[in-house]
Amino acid sequence: MGLLSFLRKLKLKEREMRILLIGLDGAGKTTIMKKLKKEDTSKVSPTRGFKIETFMFDKIKMNIWDIGGQSFIRPYWRNYFEKTEGIIWVIDSTDPSRFFEGITELSKVLKAEKLAGASLLLLANKQDIHGAMTSEQIIKEMNLTEIVKGRSWHIEATSAMTGEGISEGFAWIARDVCSRIYTFT
């Protein structure tokens, strides 16, 4: 057995992955994490810098790097790209005025060489708020099909407050990352 096969077997037993949770400020990234972990979501403050959350999801150890989305933090995002298998990009579905800013930042992230091949999950958050755009509207408005071309991706309608779609989104990224990393050629 070669070294690469041995390392893959070890990784298969570990079933561990590194995921970046990013997006513009105010999109609901931290609230999504709190809801997923069944923590109180009534008081959430903006993430300054980053926070690492590790938990088991469907027998997989997920290391989620929740990184602040304020404009002054974004230039530092690239410092967190190393060894990332998946990206979760959170979109505020109620604020189309920021879609251009969001797609500009997402495009920069997706061009990073260290993230080549990383699975992309887009969470269309705040679906519980009247007037929220649907996933289909967001795909069209942000021209996502063109932006994410050549990458494994999925969009999920979510609500950080009700929990709608969060588990489904995380299940998708877990399956997608596992299908790439834990297979033998």
Residue 155's SS3 state is: strand
| Set 70, 104, 143, 145: catalytic member | 70
Sequence-separated contacts (24+) of 141-148 with Cβ below 8 Å: 141/96, 141/99, 142/91, 142/99, 142/102, 142/103, 143/103, 144/103, 147/103, 147/106, 147/107, 147/110, 148/110, 148/120
Residue 74 and residue 81 in contact, taking contact as beta carbons nearer than 8 Å: no
State the burial class of residue 3 (Cβ atoms within 10 Å of its Cβ: 0-12, 13-18, 19+).
exposed
Site of tokens 């790097």: 65
- The reply to whether 70 belongs to the active site is yes
Active site residues: 70
